[in-house]
Structure 1
C-alpha cells in the first residue's frame, strides 16, 4: 500500500491525490475544500454548512431527486460534512462506477444552482438541525466549551451557525461566499481504492480545471485561549461537563506525544479516567478525553455526564489524574499499550477505502505531502516517557476552560466545586 500513492497538481492549482488499493472492490472519492466555520465572519457564520446542504439540491442538469436516484442506483454511499476548517463532499462506489461518481460529484460541486425554493426549504431543515443539537446535551456542551474557550474567535462559533443568520441567508449570499471561498488552491480531490491514478486525473481534470483563482479571501487568524467557567442551567437528569485546555496543532511535532497522552488520560476503556471514574467508582456512564486539532492550535479536553451529587467527586478525580501526569512519568506498560492502541487504529483504518481517502486528503491539506503509514508508526514509537512528562507539564500549567450544562442553580457554589 505504501508505494501506491500518487499526486498530480492541475494547471489551476487543484491537487489530486490517490491511493491504489488493488485488493478492494470499492473506490471512495472526496472533494475537500480547506474552508470551514473558522473562515466565516460573525455575519457569515453557518454559510459553509448551508452550502454543504445545498450542494445536493440541484444543478443545471440534475434536480435534487435525480442526484439522489442516480447515486442510489449505483449502490453508492454518499454524504458531506462541514468542520471548523474543512468541507468535504464524498461518495463510495463499486470500482466499475467510478466514472459515474466523478461525473455526479463534479456536477454538484461545480454547477449547483442554489435555487431560491430549495434554499428556503433547506433553511427549515437546518433550523431543525440546530434545535436537535441543542436538545442533545452530550453534543451541545462541546459547542458551549468552544464558545467559552475561543471566545469571539471564529473557532468559538458553532458550525451550524445561529438561527438569526440561517433565517437571513439567501441564494445570492450563498453564491457569493461559494465563489469567494472555493478557490483552487484550497481544493483537494482524493480517492482511494481499486483505481488507476492517471485515469482518475483524466476524469477529474475534464471538469475541475474550469475553476479559476480569486485571491479575495482572508487569511486565518490564530486564536487566543480563554479561561474560566461557564454554566448553563437546563432541566436535565445529568450535569454534562466539558473542560478544555490549549493543546497542540495538527502539524505540531509533538502531536503523536499528545495523542498518546490523550489515550492514557481518557482515550479508551483502559484509560485512567475511564477506569477510575466509571469502573472503580461507578460515578459516570460516559467519561472520556479528546483532542481537537486545527492548523495553528488545538485543544485537549475531557467530557463527563454525571449526577449532580457526584460532580465534585468527578472533578477531584480529574484534577488528581492531571496532577499526577504533570508530576510523574507514565508507566512503561501504559506507554507501550497506548502506542499499540494508536498503531492498531492506524493500520486497521487503512484497510477501509473511505478512511484512506480521508487520510491522504488531510495529510495533503496539513503537510502538503503524503505521510506513509510506516513513517507515522515510527513517529509514534519514538515518543518517550520524558516526552509525555514534558508535554503534560507544558499543557497543564494553566487553567482550564470549563462548561457545565444541566440542573445547576447556585452558580457560585458550582464554580467553587469545579475549580481545577
Structure 2
C-alpha cells in the first residue's frame, strides 16, 4: 500500500468489521475478516458489463471473461488451471449486464497463491490470437446451449421484448455472427476501454487480514492507468407487447415483465417482499394457484431484475400448450387481486421471515459475503450491515407492498412465449394488449 492510499474501517454488525483501501489510481480493495472460518473468497470486479457495449460490440464483455483464463505472459491456460487445482481452489468468472467478476475461494494458507493468480490473469492476459480461435467455438456452444434450454431462452426473448433496442435487451453472449467476427485487436481495445481503475474493485471475505491483502495486491493494481471515454449508460424505456416464437417442444414456456425498481430505490425492500408473496416460494400465490390447486405447471415463479437505473418484475411458467391461456388468466387474476386487495399483516410477516432467513443463511458463506461487499460498494459507496438490511425489511408495511404491486401491474406487460404454435391473439386478449 502506498502512502497516498486512503483507508477506512467500517463496523459491519453481525459479521465483523469491513476495511477499505482506495489506491492512488482509484482501485478499491474491501475486505471482511471472519474469524470462525478457514477459507478466503476473493473477487476482482469490474463495474462494466454487457450494457456498456455498443451495438457492434455485443458479447465482448463475456468473450473477455473467457479469455482471461487463456494465458498470461508467464502462465499458459493449463498452468492457470493446474495452479488453482494444486491448492484445492475453486475459481470461476461471470459476466452480467453491469458487472464482470473473476473470483476464487481457497483455504487461508493459500491466500498468497490465489492473489497472485487472480492478479496475473486480470493484469497480464495476452489475448493470443491462437487462444481466441480455440475459445471462439466454446462461446458458440454456450450460445447454442442457451437456445437449447427453453427456460433460459425464454428469458432472453423476454428481455428483447421488454427492453427493445436498449443494451439491456441484447444477449450477454452476443450473436454468432459477432463472435465469429472478433479478433485479438477487438478484445484488447475493448478491455483497455472499459477496464478503468476507478471501476475496478477487489473484495475479499474470510479468514484474512486486510493489510496483508493490500500488500499483496496494491503493487500490481496500482499500475492500471486511467483512460478517457467510458461509455455513458442510457436509461432504458420499458416496452409492452408480445414476442412469440414457435418451436416443436413438449411445453409452452411463457414469461411476462412489467417495469420494476432500480437496485437502490427506497421501495426495493417492499418490492422484494411483494415478489416473495406473489411467486417467490412454495407458499406463494402463483405456486399455490397454478401448480398446487390447478396442476397447470410444474415450474412457476416470479422474479425481480434490478439495475442501477431501472428494473423488471417478472413471472415465468412452463405449461402444456393447451392450457396456456388458462395459466395466463389465473396469473392475471392473482396480479389484480394483489393490486386491489394487497396482503394482510400475517402474510407480510411470513414473507419477512422467509426473506430474512435467506439473507442470514447466505451470510454464512464467504462467497456470499464477498459478493455483498462488492454490491454495497458499487451501488451505495458504503457497506450496508445485515442489521441495517433486516431493519429495513421489518419496516415495510402492507400498504407499501400494495403500492409497489400497483405501480408494476397497473401497466401493460411484455410477454414472451416459446412453444408449439403459440397464439399471439389469445395472449393479447388476456392482457388487453
Bin for the TM-score computed over the shorter chain? over 0.9
1:92 paired with 2:105, answer yes
In the alignment, which of 184, 187, 196 is matched to residue 183 of structure 1?
Answer: 196
Equivalent residue for 1:408? 421
Q: Distance in 2 between matches of 1:267 and 1:14?
A: 37
Equivalent residue for 2:295? 282
In the alignment, which of 218, 231, 242 is matched to residue 244 of structure 2?
Answer: 231
1:173 paired with 2:158, answer no
Q: Distance in 2 between matches of 1:204 and 1:71?
A: 18
Equivalent residue for 1:41? 54
CA-CA distance at 1:390 after TM superposition: 1.4
Structure 1 runs of 4+ with >2 Å offset: 409-420
When the two chains are superposed, the root-mean-square deviation of aligned CA atoms in Å is 1.0
Q: Distance in 1 between matches of 2:431 and 2:130?
A: 49
Q: Distance in 1 between matches of 2:401 and 2:106?
A: 42
Instruction: Map residues 354-365 of structure 1 onto 2, 5 A cutoff.
Output: 354-365=367-378
In the alignment, which of 130, 142, 159 is matched to residue 155 of structure 2?
Answer: 142
In the alignment, which of 106, 116, 120 is matched to residue 129 of structure 2?
Answer: 116
SS at match of 1:230: strand
Distance 1:410 1:301, change over 3 A: closer
Q: Distance in 2 between matches of 1:177 and 1:79?
A: 21
Q: Distance in 2 between matches of 1:207 and 1:335?
A: 49
Mapped contact 2:245–2:422 kept (Cα < 8 A)? no
Equivalent residue for 1:133? 146
Equivalent residue for 1:101? 114
- What whole-Å deviation, never above 9, does each CA across 1:172-195 have from its counterpart, x for those lacking one? 100000001000111110000000
CA-CA distance at 1:362 after TM superposition: 0.7
Q: Distance in 2 between matches of 1:415 and 1:322?
A: 16
Equivalent residue for 1:268? 281
Equivalent residue for 1:307? 320
Instruction: Map residues 184-223 of structure 1 onto 2, 5 A cutoff.
Output: 184-223=197-236
CA-CA distance at 1:412 after TM superposition: 3.0
In the alignment, which of 395, 398, 412 is matched to residue 382 of structure 1?
Answer: 395
CA-CA distance at 1:137 after TM superposition: 0.3
Unaligned segments of structure 1, at least 5 residues: none
SS at match of 2:69: coil
CA-CA distance at 1:413 after TM superposition: 4.0
How many residue pairs match? The answer is 420
Unaligned segments of structure 2, at least 5 residues: 1-13
Mapped contact 1:312–1:418 kept (Cα < 8 A)? no
- What whole-Å deviation, never above 9, does each CA across 1:120-140 have from its counterpart, x for those lacking one? 111010001101110000011
SS at match of 1:185: helix
SS at match of 1:97: helix
CA-CA distance at 1:417 after TM superposition: 4.9
Mapped contact 1:408–1:414 kept (Cα < 8 A)? no
Mapped contact 2:321–2:422 kept (Cα < 8 A)? no
CA-CA distance at 1:246 after TM superposition: 0.6
SS at match of 1:43: helix
Q: Distance in 1 between matches of 2:33 and 2:288?
A: 41
SS at match of 1:172: helix
* TM-score between both structures, scaled by the size of structure 2: 0.95
In the alignment, which of 399, 412, 420 is matched to residue 412 of structure 2?
Answer: 399
1:151 paired with 2:170, answer no
In the alignment, which of 298, 304, 308 is matched to residue 295 of structure 1?
Answer: 308
In the alignment, which of 345, 350, 367 is matched to residue 332 of structure 1?
Answer: 345
Mapped contact 2:244–2:422 kept (Cα < 8 A)? no
SS at match of 2:57: coil
* TM-score between both structures, scaled by the size of structure 1: 0.98
Mapped contact 2:412–2:431 kept (Cα < 8 A)? no
